[in-house]
């Protein structure tokens, strides 16, 4: 298989992702395989790194979503790796103060629990 750069998987916006010069497209079996490979590679790496910290979030983004035709947008399979990256980004950098405060309190509790268990 002719490997292409997978930089397109890091683009959250579908129009930007599809306009990227590295986007493989979906017009042939080879291009569909490259699309699947890009999404599953990102999903695998993110799951490996983030599962110990965010298991619930990781479990919400499974490969079965990629193949779910009800989640397709304009014929593109659900970009499960890209959407997991977006969810992790939103978790780590929330935009609203309520979520920021909740995450800060959760982090403080984790630290307190960690130091109390030592």
**pLDDT digit string, tens, across residues 59-113:** 999 999 999 999 998 889 999 999 999 999 988 887 778 877 887 788 788 777 7
Q: Average of pLDDT values for 4-27?
A: 89
Q: How many CB atoms lie within 10 A of CB 82?
A: 23
**pLDDT digit string, tens, across residues 50-74:** 999 999 999 999 999 999 999 998 8
pLDDT value, residue 118: 47
C-alpha angle 85-88-94 in degrees, rounded to nearest 5: 125
To which residue do tokens 């978790």 refer? Answer: 91
């Amino acid at each position: 298989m002719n490997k292409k750069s997978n930089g397109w998987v890091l683009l959250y916006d579908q129009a930007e992702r599809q306009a990227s010069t590295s986007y493989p497209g979906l017009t042939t079996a080879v291009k569909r395989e490259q699309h699947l490979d890009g999404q599953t590679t990102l999903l695998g790496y993110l799951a490996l790194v983030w599962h110990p910290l965010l298991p619930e979030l990781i479990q919400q983004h499974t490969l079965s979503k990629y193949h779910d035709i009800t989640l397709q947008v304009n014929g593109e399979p659900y970009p499960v790796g890209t959407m997991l990256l977006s969810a992790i980004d939103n978790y780590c950098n929330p935009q609203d103060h309520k979520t920021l405060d909740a995450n800060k309190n959760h982090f403080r509790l984790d630290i307190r629990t960690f130091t109390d268990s030592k």
